[in-house]
A = this chain, B = another copy of it.
Amino acid sequence: MEKEKTDKKDHILDVAERVFAELGYDGASTRMISGEAGVNMAMLNYYFGSKEGVFLAIFERRISTFQSLLLSIGNDENINPWEKLDKYIDSYVDRVVNNNCFHIMLNREISKSKKNELTDQITDIIMKNVNVFQDIIAEGIKKGDFNKDADQQLLVATIFGTKSYLVNTPHISSKVLGFDVMDQDNQNKLLKPRFKAYMKTLLKAYLQN
């Protein structure tokens, strides 16, 4: 029973994540989510307290493991900055593409220019990921591996922005790339390897002395 309960909650979160990504937080109604998940509407509030509670539950489910994964790369003292960069890119691309619905949802909320409790929470979490990346760059510059004139901050904008463009605006990026980036098969066979290779080449070109 305990197992089934967890599965059901997980199922609701799966559906909610997709619907939020499709229609946005405001555009998605609790009736729609519960309907597509095949549960009574009151269950959302029973399990998660509120609509915002559902959103936060999706959030918490995704971030914890990802966070520690990236940190372990950043703190690994046995590899040099170039290798760290490669590893970071590989892990980041895999994760972001696999959980694209979540990242679409995430980005939509954080792009509201008016602050609120929710955006503040999201900002804090995202900044941790950003800091790991920035530390890698800073270390590489300090050690003399990377070009000291590189703009660390805007480089952050480039890696995370390029990802956002590909994942968060699928209608555009699909037209640009010539295949459906929302299709899981395309993601694994076409998008991921190409994105990784491109990003490494780009960073190498910019960061090398």
In the complex, which residues of chain B have a beta carbon less than 8 angstroms from the beta carbon of A168? 111
Stretch in A42-50, A58-66, A83-91, A194-202 with 4+ CB within 8 Å of B = A194-202
- Assess whether B108 is in contact with A24, with CB atoms less than 8 Å apart: yes
- Assess whether A115 is in contact with B151, with CB atoms less than 8 Å apart: no
**Complex A-B: 12 CB contacts under 8 Å:** A23-B114, A24-B25, A24-B108, A107-B111, A113-B170, A134-B176, A153-B178, A154-B162, A158-B162, A158-B165, A161-B165, A162-B162
Select one of B115, B163, B169 contacting A107, CB under 8 A: B169
Q: Which of A110-143 contact B (CB under 8 A)?
A: 110-115, 119, 123, 126-127, 130, 134
Report the minimal beta-carbon distance from A159 to chain B, rounded to whole angstroms: 9
Q: Which of A91-115 contact B (CB under 8 A)?
A: 101, 104, 107-108, 110-115
- Assess whether B202 is in contact with A158, with CB atoms less than 8 Å apart: yes
Most chain B beta-carbon neighbours within 10 Å: one of A104, A123, A160? A160
In the complex, which residues of chain B have a beta carbon less than 8 angstroms from the beta carbon of A39? none
Beyond contacts A26-B27, A160-B165, A161-B162: 17 other A-B pairs, Cβ-Cβ < 8 A, are A21-B113, A26-B26, A104-B113, A108-B108, A108-B112, A110-B169, A113-B171, A130-B176, A151-B201, A153-B177, A154-B194, A154-B198, A158-B162, A161-B161, A164-B164, A202-B202, A206-B206
Most chain B beta-carbon neighbours within 10 Å: one of A101, A113, A127? A113
Distance of A177 Cα from B157 Cα, bound (Å):
10
In the complex, which residues of chain B have a beta carbon less than 8 angstroms from the beta carbon of A22? 112-114
In the complex, which residues of chain B have a beta carbon less than 8 angstroms from the beta carbon of A182? 113
Select one of B112, B157, B163 contacting A23, CB under 8 A: B112
In the complex, which residues of chain B have a beta carbon less than 8 angstroms from the beta carbon of A21? 113
